[in-house]
Amino acid sequence: MVNIFTDSLNIWILIKVLALVLLGIYLVFAFVVIRQVKLMTDTLHIGFETSAKMLSYIHLALAILVFLTALVIL
């Protein structure tokens, strides 16, 4: 006998895991952005290094925030 409620629950758990995996991959991307901005600022000294690095760190902080939010409320 198929339990609709249990199956539905499993689907949402699966979606939650999938969402967390995707957000985890996005976290890796956010780290890559930081590395790339560091590469850019090491290559060029054109007066925006601190702000560019700050933007990349803010981006990483937001990615972590979204990941943790998803972990808690999904």
CB nearer to other proteins: give 1 or 72: 72
Give the rounded distance of the alpha carbon of 44 from its chain centre.
27
CB nearer to other proteins: give 2 or 33: 33
Please, which residues have CB within 8 angstroms of residue 45's CB and are 6 or more apart in sequence?
none
CB nearer to other proteins: give 3 or 50: 50
Q: In 10 A of CB 53, how many CB atoms?
A: 15
Least distance (Å) between residue 17 CB and other proteins: 13
Measuring CA to CA, which residue among 4, 16, 26, 11 is closest to residue 73? 16
User: What are the residues binding other proteins (CB under 8 A)?
Assistant: 12, 15, 19, 23, 26, 29-30, 32-33, 36-37, 39-40, 42-48, 52, 55-56, 59, 62-63, 65-66, 69-70, 73-74
